[in-house]
């Protein structure tokens, strides 16, 4: 059918354009098509809103991936995009759909008064645009590690697995036998430790020793399992620092009752963010 759809003029149009915080880096081939510095963002469609209210799709991350691909046509495979672009894109989609301001309730930590604040999401986009991912860890003078941000699919996998293990750990409180309880706890902590090793292994791209660059995952894994605690802690610290920097920045607000300063954490929990 070659006839143009007479309803085409009512199709969605880009509402805003943003620059990706990643600067287009860390994308798998084909996952991003277009200029990273001028990315069009569309408002959510009716189908997108339905997807974002589907619990199973939210938990697995499928909903977020589909909505990003729908509202950002430059993103061809959201599961393989670097996680450092996720929050900025979700904020941009929220702006394109509902506008720049978002109402957030906060109870004052000083007087206990309930306040409603309007957060300007454009300021959050500006925050992300000024960030740079630090991808180098100098463990020793002759030992340099190159890391990358996790892909969205990878990040979601590790989050879900960690959630499952933490839930299992909580459930051990119901075990009557102390011996059986301790056995279960030991197994869970062992699995948590293994999960962390796998996360490190996923995030590490290369390890440079003097003039030799090691890219083989098997060699890197063997080193991770046999390195001293100091090296292991430095990797963990750098990953945690990057995560803290790339988390949503807290917003400073003043209580309307007592004028005390409070901070609001805007959580991009998709089940509550897009309402």
pLDDT surpassing 70 at residue 193: yes
Phi, psi of 144 (to 5 degrees): -120, 130
User: What does the DSSP 8-state code read for residue 211?
Assistant: T
Closest CA to 154 of 239, 91, 216: 239
Per the confidence metrics, is the pTM higher than 0.95?
no
Pairwise CA distance, residues 64 & 90, whole Å? 8
Give 47-60 pLDDT, tens digit per residue: 888 888 787 777 77
Three-class SS of residue 101?
Answer: strand
Phi, psi of 216 (to 5 degrees): -65, 120
Q: What angle do CA 72, 78, 81 make, to 5 degrees?
A: 110
pLDDT of residue 266: 81
Percent pLDDT > 70 in the chain is 96
pLDDT of residue 272: 40
Percent pLDDT > 90 in the chain is 69
The overall average pLDDT reported for the chain is 90
pLDDT category of residue 10 using cuts at 50, 70 and 90: confident
Alpha carbon separation from 197 to 188, 191, 220, 225 (Å, rounded): 14, 10, 11, 8
Three-class SS of residue 204?
Answer: strand
Pick the more confident residue, 10 or 218: 218
| Average confidence (pLDDT) over 157-161 | 92
Give burial (CB, 10 Å; 0-12/13-18/19+) of 51.
buried
Give 75-112 pLDDT, tens digit per residue: 999 999 999 999 999 999 999 999 999 998 999 999 99
């Amino acid at each position: 059918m070659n006839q143009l759809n007479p309803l085409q003029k009512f199709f969605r149009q880009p509402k805003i354009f943003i620059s990706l915080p990643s600067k287009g880096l860390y994308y798998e081939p084909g996952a991003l098509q277009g200029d990273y510095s001028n990315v069009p963002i569309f408002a959510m469609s009716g189908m997108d809103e339905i997807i974002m209210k589907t619990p199973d799709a939210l938990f697995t991350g499928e909903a977020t991936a589909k909505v990003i691909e729908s509202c950002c046509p430059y993103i061809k495979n959201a599961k393989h995009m670097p996680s450092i672009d996720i929050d900025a894109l979700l904020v941009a989609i929220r702006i394109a759909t509902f506008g720049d301001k978002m109402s957030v309730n906060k109870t004052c930590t000083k007087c206990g008064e309930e306040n409603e604040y309007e957060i300007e999401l454009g300021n959050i986009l500006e925050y992300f645009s000024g960030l740079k991912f630090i991808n180098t860890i100098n463990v020793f003078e002759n030992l340099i590690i190159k890391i990358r941000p996790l892909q969205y699919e990878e990040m979601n996998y590790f989050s879900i697995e960690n959630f499952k293990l933490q839930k299992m750990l909580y459930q051990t409180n119901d075990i009557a036998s102390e011996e059986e309880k301790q056995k279960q706890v030991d197994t869970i902590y062992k699995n948590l430790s293994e999960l962390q090793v796998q996360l490190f292994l996923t995030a590490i791209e290369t390890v440079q020793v003097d003039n030799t660059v090691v890219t083989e995952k098997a060699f890197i894994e063997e080193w991770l399992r046999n390195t001293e605690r100091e090296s292991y802690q430095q990797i963990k610290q750098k990953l945690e620092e990057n995560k803290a920097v790339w988390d949503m920045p807290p917003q400073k607000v003043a209580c309307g009752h007592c004028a005390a300063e409070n901070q609001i954490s805007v959580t991009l929990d998709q089940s509550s963010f897009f309402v």
